[in-house]
Structure 1
């Protein structure tokens, strides 16, 4: 009997998990400012969940407008226990779109899972849901992939962009025309932000087509992101995306921190050089003045005046012969003119008589 009881206790949570996650609210209607207790079972153990009040939704069709139809600012996070259950109070807030409303619970990390519980916000307007699509039944044929690469501008903080590529097929019996997809991007543990994108085309029953949807992040985004694809309230695929850090922005700020102080310093020095008074006893110089060394009582030597003797081309040790038959000169030993006083008078030379013959001097070898 004890074994049977243990088996029943273990089978209950396993059956709940096999049936999928469920959500319940303590009250079906409440006004803004109040709170309701949200509980759930059948979730993965130790999983982080996000609880939101969403408009234009129903438990059968899910959140039609995505998280843009939810009161995201008043959401609450909760973690399941070891059995995959949770219970926590959620403040009641008016969603940005009319009701019908639901309490939407979805996983934040790991495999995607969500569940909804009908709820009515008292005093909030109500509007009928848009008609459900009666076209073909869309199915995913291949896994999604992200095509593209980051350019030079992305290295300097430009928004990273990729193209989400996947193949769909029409498994219904009618033609599928211009389906509207929702592409969501999530960073870390945050809930994805959904953006509606319409694929323009017609898909006949039994046919397939390749779909390309652009995906773009905010400027300067970096880190681990997840790109999700949703159609008709159901998440079809999820693709991880690792975005590198824009190191060009960091390099720009480093250069700015070096260039700006240097420019301010140069401008400040120029202003100080303009406004400071001149130095006493001299002209103000922009640079460092050259040192001038002066020896007192020292004058430069005067340049020598050219004399008449300096202009004579005759050498001091060569005496030319005089007379009518002179053909050469006589060499004499050089003598020092410094012993002769420049002021002593010179005795007149006795002229040679023209009748006295001059003995010719024998010229030696040159």
Structure 2
């Protein structure tokens, strides 16, 4: 009996431990479920309805600690479908920003304003920086018109597959401040049982800490159930935009994809202003000098005066050249009897051997000893 008792004690302890572990499993599961529920962002309102000019208190929990949030009152929205028209459906001027505490909670008073779209309305809270997170709470603006939400046949049946990119490049005009543009290319698949025809996507661009500016773009086509489709949507920024931008794609109130976009500075605009600051003053100076040169007075001689004094050029006297004297006639030159000047004896003849000068009006016969010369007869 003692041996059986000794053997039964360890078995009893093991059974108790197994029972405790089995009993603790539901507790662990409930604790994990509560922690996961606490991590999900949530928003609560102090009032479910208020009129313009009043205020409500917005409280939140489950957000990331020390995170900047934006609170807006939006029309044509619901917690299940989100803000259909994007921030264009919200009262942006009356929005408020709030930062969560170390536990991810916040409490902030917010004025009530009428959104540009009719109700149903929500108080939309979303993160500004970091990982995207959002939550909506139903709210009714007293006195604001109400309109039913559009039908959503096929909405929510598309899902992002892969191949998300921005295609295109900047041209020469973008370097001079033209609006940068790209093509947002992505692939979606229809996971529903009905075809999706002409889906409407929302493309938003954000810069820095500012919220995205959403724009509705409709794609013409049909995505059959279980099929894929490559979609291309144009994206364009404002003129002169530069820096780091983030392009977001939303469908059915859910953000499907995000793509960063780095835009270079338009240096051509800077070069243009530098040249303008140099060329314009130089042109004004030249025009002013031309006007001054034309309107200043002239003297009697036609010369223009500068500063009240006549500007005259100095006289230049050229040196006078003395006339050349003719060389004197040689001493042995004799005058002719008829008064004509005697010819000068050639250097290769002497006075004794020179030819005889013929007498005017009489022909002379050649000397006897002279050789006969040929000539014209």
Structure 1 and Structure 2 fold alike (TM over 0.5): yes
Query: Contact between 1:13 and 1:83, CA under 8 Å: does it hold in 2?
Result: no
Deviation of 1:78 after TM superposition, in Å, equals 0.9
Query: Contact between 2:154 and 2:197, CA under 8 Å: does it hold in 1?
Result: no
Paired residue secondary structure (1:214): strand
Paired residue secondary structure (1:228): strand
CA deviation map 1:283-332 (0-9, x unaligned): 1399xx8964646xx9623433668859999589x595346x5369xxxx
Residue matched to 2:139: 119
Deviation of 1:201 after TM superposition, in Å, equals 1.1
State whether structure 2 residue 211 is matched by structure 1 residue 182. no
Where does 1:21-100 land on structure 2 (aligned, <5 Å)? 21-100=41-120
For residues 137 and 12 of structure 1, the distance between their equivalents in structure 2, rounded to whole angstroms, comes to 28
Q: Which runs of 5+ in 1 are unaligned?
A: 1-6, 329-366
The one of 321, 326, 329 aligned to 2:354: 326
Q: Which runs of 5+ in 2 are unaligned?
A: 1-27, 331-340, 357-377
The one of 242, 256, 270 aligned to 1:236: 256
Query: Contact between 1:53 and 1:75, CA under 8 Å: does it hold in 2?
Result: yes
State whether structure 2 residue 242 is matched by structure 1 residue 222. yes
The one of 199, 208, 218 aligned to 1:198: 218
Q: For the structure 1 residues 280 and 174, does the alpha-carbon distance in structure 2 shift closer, same or farther, using more than 3 Å as the test?
A: same
Deviation of 1:133 after TM superposition, in Å, equals 2.3
Where does 1:178-327 land on structure 2 (aligned, <5 Å)? 178-278=198-298, 283-284=303-304, 292=314, 294=316, 300-304=320-324, 314=344, 318=347, 321-322=350-351, 325-326=353-354
- Name the TM-score, length of structure 2 as normaliser: 0.76
- Name the TM-score, length of structure 1 as normaliser: 0.78
Paired residue secondary structure (1:255): helix
For residues 169 and 306 of structure 1, the distance between their equivalents in structure 2, rounded to whole angstroms, comes to 120
Paired residue secondary structure (2:162): coil
Residue matched to 2:359: none
Q: For the structure 1 residues 22 and 293, does the alpha-carbon distance in structure 2 shift closer, same or farther, using more than 3 Å as the test?
A: same
The one of 140, 147, 171 aligned to 1:151: 171
Q: For the structure 1 residues 299 and 167, does the alpha-carbon distance in structure 2 shift closer, same or farther, using more than 3 Å as the test?
A: closer
Q: For the structure 1 residues 74 and 171, does the alpha-carbon distance in structure 2 shift closer, same or farther, using more than 3 Å as the test?
A: same
Query: Contact between 1:164 and 1:215, CA under 8 Å: does it hold in 2?
Result: yes
- RMSD of Structure 2 on Structure 1 (CA): 3.1
The one of 160, 163, 166 aligned to 1:140: 160
Deviation of 1:200 after TM superposition, in Å, equals 1.0
For residues 120 and 211 of structure 1, the distance between their equivalents in structure 2, rounded to whole angstroms, comes to 37
Query: Contact between 1:16 and 1:41, CA under 8 Å: does it hold in 2?
Result: no
Paired residue secondary structure (1:128): coil
For residues 350 and 194 of structure 2, the distance between their equivalents in structure 1, rounded to whole angstroms, comes to 145
Query: Contact between 2:249 and 2:258, CA under 8 Å: does it hold in 1?
Result: yes
